[in-house]
Structure 1
Amino acid sequence: MDSRGYGTTFHHRREGEWRRLVALADVMDPYSRTRLQTLPVPQHPAILEVGPGAGAMARWMADAFQPAELVVLDCDRDLLGRIGSAAIRTVHADLTDAMLAQPGQFDLIHVRNVLAHLPDPQVALDQLVSWLRPGGWLVLSDITDSASLTSDPWALAVARVIREGLNTHVGSHLDWAPGFPQPLRRAGLEDVHVAIDVPPLVAGGPAQQFLSMTAQALSSTGFAEVGEPGPELLTVSPMAMVSAWGCAPHARSARS
């Protein structure tokens, strides 16, 4: 992940950032696991995860796939220090460094809530695809605005704070994920699929905790105006996750 923008706003020395990432994992990991479990990856694959968050997905992949190699990449050294293990090799680097990996190195690449926060998501995606082995799979997920699906005042207000904060402080491309799966096709992937997951938003639940902590990190003043929701909160999240996944051609020469 590029350390500019996102990394300066959500760095892991910030109080509460680890809890925010754990809440995000509690919300989104079940959806991500469902996507990955359906893929025909080989036994003991080489896996790369970009932007591992609290590390729960990396630990799950280590157990589920028994990979020959599992690499997690992030530009935040503090985060990597908390998730490294004997089964996980951590790499402290910027995704935009073209020399990070060799072409055709991985059977599976998982990247969630990363590319939309980079200056040029398509360039980063093209680079990731080049790291896939022929027949390897890439699973890409990013957030999008789903506020039109709810009329709850708190959900709409917290979504507005997050949306404005991401635009102002991070420079996020919230229009990136709604364009899926076309970016994967442009990158040359085949057998492309797309899905959207809109989690429930319940007072005190992980989605509410994640939204509250994200809004507070982006704008403490804006979040103070919104406040915490009442105990009656029950709706759908105003922030959804769009996922797309596809396979690298078995014959690289067949790519345009």
Structure 2
Amino acid sequence: MSNSEYIFTSTQHSQELERLQALEQVFDPATRKKIESTGISAGWRCLEVGAGAGAIAQWMATVVGDNGSVVAVDLNTRFLNNLRSPNLEVIEADIRYLPLNYPLFDLVHARYVLIHIPDFQVALSRMLDLLKPGGWIVIEEPDFSVARAIYGEKDALESFNRVYEAICQMFAQLNLDYAFGIKLPAIFQQCGLQQLSVENDVPLSNGGSGIAKVMKMSTVQLAEKYISTSVVDSTDIDRYCQFADDPQTWAIYYGTVGVIARKGHL
């Protein structure tokens, strides 16, 4: 199994918390709708993999109520220590090695997790092993293959596209797939999952929008990794960040593929 480090592990505490909270603000509404489509209700047991800053885990704990429970798993639980729900358990662990001695879950959810794991099959298999027959799995993953600058100053457009190339190169160097999201439906089919539902969100966004802010934060935090690919320099990073701030610019920053499916009965 690969033990490659999560790309945001070494980022500064306050910057990473701000990025995760911005990501929640942008993507949690759509995530909640996907989870609600499974019929989640009081009494369910739910597993949140890669809980981040904890908003979705906290929300699920509220939905399932006192008779339900939520387990939130993350490699680093530094942003989950303030969660306070009697039916919410926080575990610092790698999902690939999480023991199978838990009662099986009615629902497993993960967002932007598998793209960071070279042997994602191991992680996904563990999630499915922890899911009861008839239970639901909801996975959301990014697809950077759709990213491109649309409108802005020529130099800024060129820098945007070079940063995109650096992102792809960084993922390749880590043995990761920058277009992982778009492969997710086929992966679910190969796992024999049922009642497959696919959503593909590819927003065209102007500078200053939520997704532009999230990508600017990511670019600031990962600038050294991008520059180390030799595809971009500090000027490109600066122009990208200015582009992401400018409401007159337009781009596709990335897409998100969400797949909802049910584990078959034995």
TM-score range, shorter chain: 0.7 to 0.9
* Counterpart AA for 1:163: C
| Identical positions, percent | 26
Q: What is aligned with 2:124? A: 125
* Counterpart AA for 2:74: D
Between the aligned partners of 2:101 and 2:263, the Cα distance in structure 1 is: 15
Query: Structure 1 length as normaliser, TM-score?
Result: 0.84
Between the aligned partners of 1:187 and 1:37, the Cα distance in structure 2 is: 23
Between the aligned partners of 1:88 and 1:160, the Cα distance in structure 2 is: 40
Given candidates 211, 214, 230, the residue that maps to 2:218 is 214
Residue 6 of structure 1 aligns to a residue whose secondary structure is coil
Residue 150 of structure 2 aligns to a residue whose secondary structure is coil
Greater radius of gyration (CA)? 2
Alignment check: 8 A CA contact 1:12 1:79 kept: no
Report whether the alignment pairs 1:204 with 2:216: no
Residue 78 of structure 2 aligns to a residue whose secondary structure is helix
Given candidates 248, 254, 257, the residue that maps to 1:233 is 248
Q: What is aligned with 1:93? A: 93
Pairing 1:81-230 to 2, within 5 Å after superposition:
81-83=81-83, 85-97=85-97, 99-102=98-101, 105-147=104-146, 150-152=149-151, 153=157, 155-168=160-173, 170-220=174-224, 221=234, 223-224=237-238, 226-229=240-243
CA positional deviation for 1:14: 3.9
Gaps of 5+ in 1: none
The 1:103/1:58 distance shift into structure 2, 3 A limit, reads closer
The 1:87/1:203 distance shift into structure 2, 3 A limit, reads farther
Between the aligned partners of 1:26 and 1:146, the Cα distance in structure 2 is: 24
Number of residue-to-residue matches in the alignment: 247
1:74-124 CA deviation, whole Å, 9 max, x = no partner? 010312324454332101111110x52337610000011001110211221
CA positional deviation for 1:190: 0.9
Between the aligned partners of 1:12 and 1:108, the Cα distance in structure 2 is: 31
Residue 244 of structure 1 aligns to a residue whose secondary structure is strand
Kindly report the root-mean-square deviation, in angstroms, between the aligned alpha carbons of the 2 structures: 2.6
Query: Structure 2 length as normaliser, TM-score?
Result: 0.82
1:193-247 CA deviation, whole Å, 9 max, x = no partner? 1111123523223211110111122224352353322533353532111111110
Between the aligned partners of 1:150 and 1:213, the Cα distance in structure 2 is: 17
